Amino acid sequence: MASGRGDRVVGGVRRRRRWVRWVGVGVAVTLVGAAGTGWAVYEKLNANITSDDDTAAELARYEKERPTALVHAAQNILLIGSDSRSGDGNSEYGRDSGTERSDTTILLHLAANRRSATAVSLPRDLMVHIPGCRRPGGARTAPVFSMFNNAFQKGGPACTIRTVEKLTGVRVDHHMVVDFHGFKDMVEAVDGVEVCLKEPIDDPAAKLRLPAGKVRLDGEQALGYVRARKTIGDGSDTDRMDRQQRFLGALVNKVRSNDVLLNPAKLYPVLDAATSSLTTDPGLANLRGLYDLVRGMRDIPTERVQFLTVPRESYALDANRDQLVEPDAQKLFERLRRDAPLEVATEVPEDSGAKRSTPEPADDPDRHGYSYDFERYRPGNGAEKGRSGSDSGADHGTSGEKRADGTSATPDATPSPAPTFRGNTAAEDVCG
């Protein structure tokens, strides 16, 4: 990611230039840089961001049951794409039923050393245990075993965050919500994003008609492209998530290009669209908060900006729903909790630690909730053991017993290889 500092003249006043970059996915995952162009512009962009104080208050009520961050310098941001039709420009995408769901949810992990960023897609149809949550009107729902995206419908970001934390054991530090209109404006602001299509697309529901080959998508087309499902590929939600991830990688590259970052005429619309589309926790609801979050990310190479989908398969009791593939999913969550490295590849090697295993028979629906056992894995109470029972030392490249000084007592201890999960990186050419 490009970054720089220097002086520039704005309205006759010389001011320090700052690159402000944030990660949003979209349904808005992107890494962008911004220059401060005077107090009026700063205030305008700052005021664009909506602070989600209600979610912060609700999460505070349940602080004691939330997981503990094991590596405090690492950051986990939950990126939520809202399908609400109530905002400006969103009504054209369907009837406003008074509720909203999150068809796109991504858990973004920023490594403590800021040398990698891993975006994990969570399927909307994944069967999970959703806790009792507060509705917008104040009423509370009962806990339920249901599709993951029902959490957002029942209790908004707070309910989604609590569901993700119960599922993964990963502490969510921040969250961002982006709607249809915001995503579309982001793409328009960078003059479109190129994709390569193996065959033509004709999807009336998504308002999308495109030829095969290399195509530059404008905002409206990009929104249809990442939302379409039944008419592209094999029609599965998994295929759609793969398509979203490849598009987001292309968007990351477009925003990072000098044509955008070094051109104020193009940079300001990107910043305006990005900040206008965001509803975030109070900690990120200002330009300074966003800058502080990602100021160390400028050195992440595109090959270390990784996208993957949580290991999943068809739910045993309903082929139209998903369940986690175990123990692969827990190995992934454990790597995120401990800020341990992992790799992604379009084809997972046979000897990878994340290679798909045969799931246990589903004789009990509750077996597929995969709620995280906080008491068992709470730090100081066996937290050093992951759900697979492996010692945490394996994540840090050691094995065997530890001496008092923390070194391994096993002479031939060798580093544990990072497991490989199916996915892609922002460095991959979408037309390759």
The answer to whether 305 and 252 have CB atoms below 8 angstroms apart is: yes
Q: What average pLDDT does the segment 287-304 reach?
A: 78
Indicate whether 383 pLDDT > 50: no
Residue 6, pLDDT above cutoff 70: no
| 222 within some domain | no
Residue 416 lies inside a defined structural domain of this protein: no
> 3-class DSSP state for residue 171?
coil
Residue 290: the pLDDT is 79
Q: Is residue 114 part of a domain?
A: yes
pLDDT at 101 over 80: no
Average pLDDT rounded to a whole number, residues 205-221: 91
Domain membership flag for residue 328: yes
* pLDDT for residue 274: 84
Mean pLDDT in residue range 150-161: 95
Instruction: Give the tens place of pLDDT for each residue, 402-418.
Output: 333 343 344 444 455 78
Does the pLDDT at position 198 exceed 90?
no
pLDDT of 18 above 80: no
Q: Residue 82 and residue 28: Cα distance in Å, rounded? A: 11
Containing structural domain, residue 181: 54-185+244-258+304-357+365-375+421-425
Confirm whether 227 is domain-assigned: no
Task: Examine the pLDDT at 260 and tell me if it is beyond 90.
Answer: no
**Is residue 411 assigned to a domain?**
no
0.85 exceeded by pTM: no
* Amino acid 89: pLDDT: 46
Closest C-alpha among 392, 396, 389 to residue 417: 396
DSSP summary character for residue 133: -
The answer to whether residue 226 sits within a structural domain is no
For residue 359, say if its preceding peptide bond is cis, omega within 30 degrees of 0: no
How much is the pLDDT for 416? 59
Q: Other C-beta atoms within 10 Å of 337: how many?
A: 26
Residue 96 confidence (pLDDT): 41
CATH number of the domain residue 78 falls in: 3.30.420.590
Say what the pLDDT of residue 350 is. Answer: 63
Tokens of 413: 């201890």
Beta strand pairing call for 174-178 and 193-197: unpaired
Range with the poorest average pLDDT among 8-12, 87-91, 297-301: 8-12
What's the chain's average pLDDT?
76
Both structure tokens of 309: 């989908």
What's the pLDDT band for 288 if we cut at 50, 70, 90? confident
Where is pLDDT greater, at 273 or 31? 273
What domain count does the chain have? 1
Best CA proximity match to 80, nearest among 100, 64, 65, 62: 100
**Domain assignment present for 173:** yes
Strand order in the sheet with 343-345: 50-51, 279-280, 174-178, 75-81, 104-110, 117-121, 305-309, 420-425, 343-345
What is the spatial distance between Cα 82 and Cα 101, in angstroms, rounded to a whole number? 6
Burial of 392 (0-12, 13-18, 19+ CB in 10 A): middle
